[in-house]
Amino acid sequence: MKFLVTLFIIAMFIASPAIYLLVRNAYKPEEIPAEIIRPIPDPETITPTLPPTPVPTSGIPDAVESALIGTKGTYGVAVMNLKTGESYFRNEHRQFDAGSLYKLWIMATVFDQIGKGLLKEDQTLSQDIAVLNSKFNIASESAEQTEGTITLSVKEALDEMITLSDNYAALLLSEKIRLSTVRSYLADHGFSGSVLGEPPKTTPYDIAVFFDKLYRGQLGNAETSAQMLDLLKKQKIQTKLPKYLPPDVAIAHKTGEIGSFSHDGGIVYTGKGDYVIAAFSESDSPPDAEDRIARVSQAVYNYFTTKN
């Protein structure tokens, strides 16, 4: 028996190198391609993956409609981005009583005559209040003034008519240039939705197009266009379009209100592009409508200035 154990040990000793080679080859690890192996980067050299910048998914319709939720009455809105061409319209061809928006047409016609040399800014205009009331069919019970005389230069009358919306400055200029001339001006420039009647009527679309054409220098020469825009930027009535905009935002605009109607239209200048907005309303509560117009203006401004 001892002989057999000794013989087995000698055999295993002789065979062990072969067994070793067989096992090593059978379990040889898989080689990893060199291009897959990467060094572990130093933590200071790792560039973090930032979340994508949120991109607004809503457009002007959502912005405007959200600002008008719960309103009573009728609203008309026209928006035109002067840089991108993006636009929005709501009841844009509906006619509203214009209120003092008709003064835009008076201003443009006056500057048209100035540009043609038919009128001078330093020219003095003067008329009795009673005469103006009679000429423009203003009843004594509804007249702001019934006696006295108004005397202004053309330049002064333009300033008071636009920046303060002074009615007698407007009547003084209207008497000088004649309403028939203003009607011809409207027709010549394609404002087919606007009527200089009693009362004057216009549409959000026409007022938006007016400001678009003024911005592009299509309502006068370079000098008179700049003068009109400068006047409109001096507007003192700030309760509508500018109300909720940042105080440093420039806006050339004109308001209009009469009875149940309240409107505002103009050009808003921003670092991301200028745009035209006209917001009209007819409601039982003009003060509430004014605030809605301001909210619409704020919504449109936020949309244009925060989108990529």
Q: Could you read off the pLDDT of 227-246 as tens digits, one per residue? A: 999 999 999 999 999 999 99
Answer yes or no: is 287 within a domain. yes
Query: By the 8 A CB rule, do 278 and 265 touch?
Result: yes
CATH number for 176? 3.40.710.10
pLDDT reported for residue 153: 98
Tell me, yes or no, whether 123 lies in a domain: yes
pLDDT of residue 308: 66
Instruction: Compute the mean pLDDT over every residue in the chain, rounded to the nearest whole number.
Output: 85
Which segments in the chain show pLDDT lower than 70? 1-58, 308
How far apart are the C-alpha atoms of 118 and 126, rounded to whole Å?
Answer: 18
Residue 110 within any structural domain of the chain: yes
pLDDT of amino acid 35: 32
48 located within any domain:
no
Tell me the residue range of the domain where 124 lies. 73-306
CA distances from 29 to 26, 32, 33, 36, 38 (A): 9, 9, 13, 16, 19
pLDDT at position 213: 98
Can you name the residues that pair with 76 across neighbouring β-strands?
280
Residue 211: inside a domain: yes
> Taking the alpha carbons of 279, 183, 175, 130 in that order, is the dihedral positive or negative?
negative
The pLDDT, as a whole number, for residue 47 is 30
214 lies in some domain? yes
* Total domains, the chain: 1
